Amino acid sequence: MKSFENKVVMITGAARGQGRNHAVKFAELGAKLIVCDICEDIEGVTYSLGTEEQFSVCLEEITHKTNGQVVSARCDVRDSTSVTRLAEQGIKRFGRIDVLVNNAGVCNIKPAWEINDVDWDAMIGVNLTGTWNSCKAVIPVMKNQHYGRIINVGSIAAMKGIPNLVHYTAAKHGVAGLTKALAIDLAPYGITVNCICPGSVDTDMLAGLAPEIEADVYEAKTLFASYHLLPGLIQPEDTTELVMWLASDASRSVTGAVWNMDRGWAQR
């Protein structure tokens, strides 16, 4: 079992789903945590985002597991000032940041001709600009440490074109490109930058997309699972295992990589 004893890990979008699962696992393995979530809905996204109640439940669990070694805030990753403030609070408390997991993300299903400026801005703002804002917030401290692990969350939509997801696909392709370019700039400072690209993950976000395809939750999950070569949906703990490895010293020779974790979807 990997240990993250005395490592400081920052995770965005931690109220529920993959982000919460990452936070709980890091806490169990000894990490100190800096976590955030917006805890409110935003324009351009039709389903409900993580709530204050869900974030509170996550915080209660990780605070218990870490004996209080948690810095948390409600934070919109589209706002660089807020993200930088969170990172600074974490550095003030713990003295360093070793790992960043850029988990915050949103989706919206529409044909290209129905996408409006609000839809576009939401997808690019959270998924791409938000990822950059968080990277920008931790780069100075990681450079000073000559150590860091940045893990960006892409998507199958970072690997191929997906119908009715032009804006989301553009954002996630951007995350993959950001990962590759940033890896080059940061390599001399001992910082690795990698990107995981899940297919359909069994989360509240996926369930929330059901009305957009005029389906109930069961039908939506069945449809999204059908895109995979391997049967079934990806579980949050599956993505967490890859995040744990990329955050560990076992991945020290890996940077600039974009990892398919899509149960074979990209091969269709």
Buried b (16+ CB within 10 A) or exposed e, 229-239: eeeebbebebb
Respond yes or no: is residue 168 known to be catalytic.
yes
135 near 182, Cβ under 8 Å? yes
Residue found by looking up tokens 């969350």 in the block: 153
* E runs forming strands in 43-190: 70-74, 99-102, 148-153
- The closest of 237, 247, 251 to 24, measured between CA atoms, is 237
According to DSSP, residue 234 is labeled B
Task: Tell me which amino acid residue 196 is.
Answer: I
Q: Active site residue: 147, 168, 218, 227, which one?
A: 168
* DSSP H or E run through 192: strand 191-198
Q: Which residues participate in catalysis according to the annotation?
A: 168
